[in-house]
Amino acid sequence: MNFIEVIDLLGTIAFAISGALAAFSKKLDPFGIVIIAFVTAAGGGTLRDILIGVEPVSWMRNMNLVYTILLCVVITFFFRKRLLKLRKTLFLFDAIGIGLYTVVGLEMGLTAGLHPLICITLGCITACFGGVLRDILINEIPVIFRKNIYATACILGGGVYFILVELKVPNEIVFPVSAITVIATRILAVVFKLKLPTPYTQQELKKIKVKNKK
Amino acid sequence: MNFIEVIDLLGTIAFAISGALAAFSKKLDPFGIVIIAFVTAAGGGTLRDILIGVEPVSWMRNMNLVYTILLCVVITFFFRKRLLKLRKTLFLFDAIGIGLYTVVGLEMGLTAGLHPLICITLGCITACFGGVLRDILINEIPVIFRKNIYATACILGGGVYFILVELKVPNEIVFPVSAITVIATRILAVVFKLKLPTPYTQQELKKIKVKNKK
Amino acid sequence: MNFIEVIDLLGTIAFAISGALAAFSKKLDPFGIVIIAFVTAAGGGTLRDILIGVEPVSWMRNMNLVYTILLCVVITFFFRKRLLKLRKTLFLFDAIGIGLYTVVGLEMGLTAGLHPLICITLGCITACFGGVLRDILINEIPVIFRKNIYATACILGGGVYFILVELKVPNEIVFPVSAITVIATRILAVVFKLKLPTPYTQQELKKIKVKNKK
């Protein structure tokens, strides 16, 4: 088991628990909970694999991943009352998940010999798409469309990754530093309510607000 | 034309008619009806092929399938009044469709050398995903999320399949027995209103009901 | 850069601007605008590539496409006020986009050695799917489901394409004539409010209207 596989596993655990918690909070039946946990943990990687052409997609050849997700559902089941009391748990697991998956996506893009900009896009897709599917399936507006420092955190982490690689920093340092950049950016954005600058004038934004109220 | 191709064809007919009936009942235009019939019949197999890496996807190399779906739309058009009077027709065709497609998906997973658990998942995807797309496109809540003994029927059929294979029962018996298990489970679940056991206490379920009423 | 690449580039520009204009009109943040422009311009081609098995999908190996889309977003940003005043601009760019992309999809289907009917389907998917994703993401009912002479225009252009190829007309004429057929059909359908014939009797349509009003 190499370094990237360990990171992948930790990301899977974070996302599977995040998905299972979201499904429990919506009172889904056992089958629905497993589906949501699986889609949250494996959805982003599945789209990445399909776009690159890694087929059968990763989870089909990786029974450890499948067992890990099932185990996370069981663990979440027994500890959900304790986990749900901590309101910030779901958010924290989600932030850790996107940090770790961004690095996995970047790495797989590089292995396929793709352009750095495309690798960063793949990092974003790996990190964000599972959560988008989770939110669509439990009938919430996807986090990524509500909070704009989400994918942006992944892009930032991707930038840090390529700067460190350019400086010939060893992988053992590049991986955790990039992942922590994503996680820290996401957490700071939520704590300090940061937003991207808007390209619209105040007048334009007022118009749309008035329109939405009607 | 081998045994699995015959099963595939029967499943296609069942699903194409199920899709066309649903589209007619929503008064879609001719183009919309063909799309819904096609997506219902070919959607699950398309996702399965993409995940395994069978590309171009099956229907692109199989004009018989395309012609069969178009023919089913024409037949449904002429007999729709008679078919719609029988309220249970749509449900029956859907049940037959998931039974036959589960076996096709299982078989293709085995051919690709995948783990039994993954093969069962592929059977489920082949059987259920076309119907999910049909329901999303005609703006109904997907059957699979409303009725939990739906994918569960496919999983049960998959289990029976591997038990029979393990017992070295010949394919000519394994295929129909597994398909009938799925169809019978689905029909019995609807007739006797069976549900999966819930992991929530009565109190928790009351809370969500009160919340939903607000 | 060959002929088909030039057509592809023009289609990309038309769709990227169409997507960016739609995103600006919904007052999305900068990240959202880039996503919508990208999905509109590359979504159809991505699904086509996945279905055929061209992987990594085209845009991953084609940085010119990525830069073109980003440039279109910047251009749309500076000229959006002027562009938005012309109400028909979005519609025109969309019509040009589907015309050009239909030809690209047809061509790629032929290269993969697929049946003419499948090639026409691929032309439709390339042309229409990006717009469907754009409309879903900005929360509008997809144009393709509201206006039925949309995919139909692509199918018609595909028919013209194969008739001309059959008549051994050179590619330099087949490509523009097929694309113009799509664009002209789409524009004429909107100007003269053309619709496909309905398979329902007046009585049946009245019933659904009464039902919808309830």
pLDDT digits (tens, 9 = 90+) for A41-69: 999 999 999 999 988 898 998 888 899 99
pLDDT tens-place string over residues B90-143: 678 788 889 999 999 999 999 999 999 999 999 999 999 998 888 877 777 676
CB-closest option in A52, A53, A196 to C31 = A196
> Among all residues of chain A, which has the CA nearest to that of C59?
A118
Residue-level pLDDT at C213: 47
Residue B70: name the closest of B30, B40, B34, B44 by CA.
B34
Enumerate neighbours of B (3 or more CB pairs within 8 A). A, C
Question: Is B178 within 8 Å of chain C by CB?
Answer: no
Nearest to B152 among A31, A46, A137 (CB): A31
DSSP string, chain C: --HHHHHHHHHHHHHHHHHHHHHHHTT--HHHHHHHHHHHHHHHHHHHHHHHT-SS-GGGS-HHHHHHHHHHHHHHHHHHHHHHHSTTHHHHHHHHHHHHHHHHHHHHHHHTT--HHHHHHHHHHHHHHHHHHHHHHTT---HHHH-STTHHHHHHHHHHHHHHHHTT--HHHHHHHHHHHHHHHHHHHHHTT--PPPSS-HHHHHHHHHHHH-
> How far is C116 from C122, CA to CA, in rounded Å?
10
Please name the residue of chain C whose CA is at the shortest distance from the CA of residue B46: C51
Average pLDDT value for chain A? 85
CB spacing of B199 vs A33 below 8 angstroms: yes
Q: What is the pLDDT of residue C84?
A: 66
Q: Does C29 contact chain A (CB < 8 Å)?
A: yes
For residues A175-209, one letter each, b for 16 or more C-beta atoms within 10 angstroms of the residue's C-beta and e for the rest, the string is bebbbebbbebbbebeeeeeeeeeeeeeeeeeeee
Q: Choose the closest CB to C57 out of A51, A117, A204.
A: A51
- pLDDT at residue B213, rounded to an integer: 46
Per-residue pLDDT tens for B129-154?
998 888 877 777 676 766 668 889 99
pLDDT at res. B92: 81
Amino acid residing at B1? M
Q: Do B31 and C118 touch (CB under 8 A)?
A: no
Quick check: A91 pLDDT over 90?
A: no
**Number of neighbours of residue C118 by Cβ within 10 angstroms:** 21
**DSSP three-state, residue B111:** helix
Q: Does the distance separating the beta carbons of A50 and B199 come in below 8 Å?
A: no
Alpha carbon of A54: minimum distance to chain B alpha carbons (Å): 8
In a mutational test of the C interface, the residue from B21, B25, B27, B28 whose CB has the highest number of chain C CBs within 10 Å is B27
Q: Which residues in chain C are contacts of A208 at CB distance < 8 A?
A: 26-27
Chain segment C162-198, per-residue pLDDT in tens: 999 999 999 889 999 999 999 999 999 988 888 777 7
* Contacts of C among chains (3+ CB pairs under 8 A): A, B
**In chain A, which residue's Cα lies nearest the Cα of C65?**
A118
Is the per-residue pLDDT at A207 higher than 90? no
The pLDDT of B147-175, averaged and rounded, is 90
